[in-house]
Amino acid sequence: MALPFSKSQITRLGERLVKASEPSDEDLTALSELLLAYDDTLDSALGVVRSLGFDPTSRVKNTGTILEKLARHGGSWLKSIQDLAGMRIVLDGDRAVQDEAVRAIALAFDSAERETKVIDRRAQPSQGYRAVHVIVYPDGIPVEVQVRTQWQHEWADMFEKLADLIGRGIRYGEPPAHWWDAVAHATDGKTPKQAAVFRELYDASYRWHEALAKSAVALSDLIDALEDAEVSGVGKTEVQELWDDVREDLAEFRERMSGMTPVSDRGDLGSVGS
């Protein structure tokens, strides 16, 4: 299925969406039409990938996510986005299995009108995120196929949940979100000493959030090193012991996050120490 709009029309749509404080009904309808075209193409691509023996999950980005991305990247992003439609494959195997899966997917789409693009985020990670993205072009429309090992997937799932709790910007290397404004408002009418205590609590909590984000990226680096060692076959016993450590670290992250309140929900000071 062809896209319902030209690239210039999609660019103008993106620019209108990013500039408007409240998108018009007409622009939201146009965006829905665009997403329907991506959805049809995604269904076609899913059939091809499933025929290879993979069991992917899939999604077309929703309106809220697109508007968030437009606010970050600008209106012209809409015409060049490669992951409006995407699927994810989580493999039961190491990087050698991952490389073979990437080759099989690329080969399956080699007759498409545009050449398949492979983005190896193992070599160029983004804030700890590692995977291999295969961009295929059925009907000339990009569909992103994320190919992950189980460890890459478990880390990415953990980090996504952490970002929901301490600030979505950490996925782009930004610091955790600040919530001092809520604290400052709650200290209205407090004595200077009381306000100082609240500020100290805030500072300690914020430093903890920073440490969590850095620790998560460091854990991804350890996973990367272990996956490299696993493929090389060096020190198999030692590698297994370190995998046990990674498993424990991931469990510890999940336990910590289970008691946290998202920064966006901190309208009072009841969650300062969480």
**Residue range 93-117, pLDDT digits in tens:** 999 999 999 999 999 999 988 899 9
**Number of domains composing the chain:** 2
The answer to the question of residue 28 being in a domain is yes
pLDDT attached to residue 274: 30
The answer to the question of residue 35 being in a domain is yes
User: Percentage of the chain with pLDDT > 90?
Assistant: 50
Distances 235 to 69, 222, 249 between C-alpha atoms, Å = 43, 15, 21
The answer to the question of residue 93 being in a domain is yes
Residue, of 201 and 112, whose pLDDT is higher = 112
The answer to the question of residue 274 being in a domain is no
CA distance 203 to 272: 10
DSSP string, 61-105: --HHHHHHHHHHH-TTHHHH-S-SEEEEEEESS-HHHHHHHHHHH
Expressed as residue numbers, the domain containing 54 is 10-74+82-149
Last residue of a domain, one of 115, 149, 183: 149
**One domain, residues 126 and 15:** yes
Residue 80 clears pLDDT 50, i.e. is over it: yes
Confidence band for 236, pLDDT divided at 50, 70 and 90 = low
CA distance 86 to 39: 9
Query: What is the mean pLDDT of the segment spanning 20-45?
Result: 90
- Report yes or no: 164 and 258 within 8 Å, Cβ to Cβ: no
**One domain, residues 62 and 177:** no
The answer to the question of residue 273 being in a domain is no
Residue 270 clears pLDDT 90, i.e. is over it: no
Confidence band for 272, pLDDT divided at 50, 70 and 90 = very low
